[in-house]
Structure 1
Amino acid sequence: MRCEVRWSLCWENELQLSDHIELTEFFRKAYGPTGAFNAKPFEGSRSWAGARPELRAIAYDSHGIAAHMGLLRRFIKVGEVDQLVAELGLYGVRPDLEGLGISHSIHVMLPVLQELGVPFAFGTVRHALRKHVERFARYGLVTILSGIHVRFTLPEARLDKPPTRTEDALVIVLPVGQSMSDWPAGTTIDRNGPEL
């Protein structure tokens, strides 16, 4: 039997220190199995990896946090066009609930995206997650774009690394206030900041 979860939408300034600590533990457990490096940003009470979200969708069940998705409004540059988006990221599901599905968190976020009046939601995922995302895309809500180079800054300036990194990630676009035909053409996206 599938466990019941309740979703909560929280603006970042509504979270208490105890919320950040609980989220930090959640992300360590959710991201740790994919590699120690992926869990490293979540130290102390830091409940974000790169850019800090402004809004979070958090699912709870009887065992605590079950799933999470963050949202951050920003302008990205697609080719030569500055495009307003709501970046979705910092997605995680507690390992014992794999299969809860990204679709649940996007459905929770959709009314908020519409209220915010953003033309598109945008996110990136590793190529290893393509089949997972394609299952959701077959319902026609999102478009998956490949062959796009996405550039972003590192969360902190470091002497031993260049300040920016470029990755060939899968780009996910969800039309909210405009149609997909309005998405700018381009093979590069510049976040002009750290990824969410």
Structure 2
Amino acid sequence: MPDIEWTLCWEADLSAEHHTALAALFARYYPNDHATFTGARSWMGARPEARVIGFDDGRPVAHLGFVRRMLRLESGGSQLVGDVGLVGVDPDYQGTGLGRRLLAEAAAALGSQGLPFGFLTCAPAVVGFYATGGWQQALGQVTRMIDTELRPETYTGPALVLPVTAPFSAWPTGQTIIRDGLEV
């Protein structure tokens, strides 16, 4: 694996040059959405609050963004999470173990913020990747949310939970999760 420098970057601390480099990275690992990532636009839906970035010789090659968020539970109450998105590794680095390292660095970053859980929605094809980093599927749950086109959506695909400072057994099961903000 290449010698990667890992950093937790807060959104307000990133320069226009950082955003431009991240946008170029995202266009490479999200080729179907490359038009979204132009210039210095390095976000798709909600702008991350913080980003875990792996740099190789000053160039970003791995990224995961998150925002601290309260998810609403349909039965009442709420659950604090690190809502995760924009996860990926430069295609030239895929297959090197960098993705698993990214997940480990992200778990440490979420823990440093005292978050009980990480939360994300994803395509079924990538559940196995996240499982290698300790993410577990919240079976039987649906997620009501606002999609990146600003439309309400009921997502029935995988919702994954990472136990960070709380055990998975503390996750609210059997409920609809409501993400009231934009997906990261």
TM over 0.5: yes
List structure 1 segments (4+ residues) > 3 angstroms apart after TM superposition.
Answer: 154-157
- Contact 1:125–1:171 (CA<8 Å) still a contact in 2? yes
| % identical equivalent positions | 34
Alignment of 1:23 onto 2:22 = yes
Corresponding residue of 1:127: 124
Q: What corresponds to 1:54 in structure 2?
A: 49
Q: Give, as a single letter, the amino acid of the residue that structure 2 aligns with 1:45.
A: A
Q: TM-score, normalised by structure 1?
A: 0.84
Structure 2-normalised TM-score? 0.89
Does the Cα contact within 8 Å between 1:87 and 1:122 map onto a contact in 2? yes
Q: Report how far residue 121 of structure 1 moved.
A: 1.1
| Distance in 1 separating the partners of 2:128 and 2:46 | 26
3-state secondary structure, aligned to 1:118:
coil
Structure 1 residue matching 2:127: 3-state secondary structure: helix
CA contact (8 A) 2:119 2:159 kept: yes
Secondary structure of the residue aligned to 1:84 is: strand
User: Conserved in 2, the CA contact under 8 Å of 1:142 and 1:172?
Assistant: yes
Counterpart Cα distance in 1 of 2:169 and 2:140: 18
- Secondary structure at the counterpart of residue 181 of structure 2: coil
8 A contact 2:52–2:109 mirrored in 1: no
1:120-144 per-residue CA deviation (whole Å, 9 max, x = no partner) reads: 111121011133233x05xxx3322
Shift in Å, 1:156:
5.8
Q: Which residue of 2 aligns with 1:184?
A: 172
Could you say if the C-alpha distance between residues 103 and 79 of structure 1 is closer, same or farther in structure 2, counting changes exceeding 3 Å?
farther
Matched residues, number: 182
Cα offset for 1:96?
A: 1.0
**Which SS does the other structure have where 2:107 is aligned?**
helix
Shift of 1:187: 4.0
Q: 1:103 maps to which residue?
A: 100
Gaps in structure 2 of 5+ consecutive residues: none
CA RMSD of the aligned region, Å? Answer: 1.9
User: Who is 2:60 aligned against?
Assistant: 65
Q: Look up the match of 1:153.
A: 146
- Once residues 168 and 73 of structure 1 are traced to their aligned partners in structure 2, the CA distance between those partners, rounded to angstroms, is 23
Partner SS, residue 182 of structure 2:
coil
